[in-house]
Amino acid sequence: MCGRFVITSAPAALRQLFGYVEQPNFPPRYNVAPTQPIPVVWIENGARHFRLMRWGLLPGWVKDPKGFTLLINARSETVLEKPAFKRAIRRRRGLIPADGYYEWKMEDGRKQPFFIHRADGAPLGFAAVFETWAGPNGEELDTVAIVTAAAGEDLAALHDRVPVTISPRDFERWLDIRGDEVDAILPLMTAPRIGEFAWHPVSTRVNRVANDDDQLLLPISAGEMAAEAEAAKPKKMARKVAAGPADDGQGSLF
């Protein structure tokens, strides 16, 4: 799955790569989390556009969002059949600019976070599907989910799912929704090639959404990981025994 990601490339560089007409200016983000607004590139009237959407898709038929499970990912194997995604995959496909993402792996009984990125350091585009949810009072909310696939042999060492990433040469094919046919995009919904991505362990500071700084991307050593694991262990509180009243030999009525 993909539950946190990173956007660090300069806005001008991303605009050039994805080719949208807007000129947004936004700061780098080192710990993007579900329910937050995230950038999505999509096509309308033949032109690519940039829009912020809430990460967590809400299908149009949902009546009460409070009672609906947050859909941050859409599985490529079932995206064509699932009621929440089957219309979006045909008519509302987008790309999410990113520079990497985080994944957690169980090690020695605790979850160790890793930062995963392209081995060549280039930005990437997550395959996405989106919907505009309309509320009972006329309010509208643009929402989006990241498409995932079964991990390849290398990335499976961290997690069995990975976000689908679309190569720049295939941006147009993924975004093209002029027809309802999806045969052309099916080959794109796969895991990255072996060796295309690299990763390293990072601090558990990333676990807190409030932490959003460039230090989150730094590799940590085995010693630092051990120190974080030790610090995370519950501390045993020394049991205090209440002292009895001092006996001065005089006795007491109280």
Residues 136, 138: Cα–Cα separation, whole Å: 6
Q: Residue 131 catalytic?
A: no
Instruction: Give the pairing of strands 140-150 and 73-75.
Output: parallel
Residues in the chain: 254
Give, in order, the Cα–Cα distances in Å from 60 to each of 68, 79, 176, 219, 246: 12, 16, 22, 42, 74
CB 57 within 8 A of CB 97: no
Q: Residue 2 catalytic?
A: yes
CB 162 within 8 A of CB 133: no
Q: Which of 44, 81, 103, 196 is catalytic?
A: 103
Q: What tokens appear for 52 in the block?
A: 């912020």
User: 67, 52, 36, 64: which is closest to 135 by C-alpha?
Assistant: 64
* 117 DSSP β-pair partners: 198
Question: What distance lies between CA 111 and its chain's CA centroid?
Answer: 16
Residues 129, 93: Cα–Cα separation, whole Å: 5
Q: How many Cα atoms occupy the beta-carbon half-sphere of 3 within 13 Å?
A: 12
Q: Which residues are catalytic?
A: 2, 103
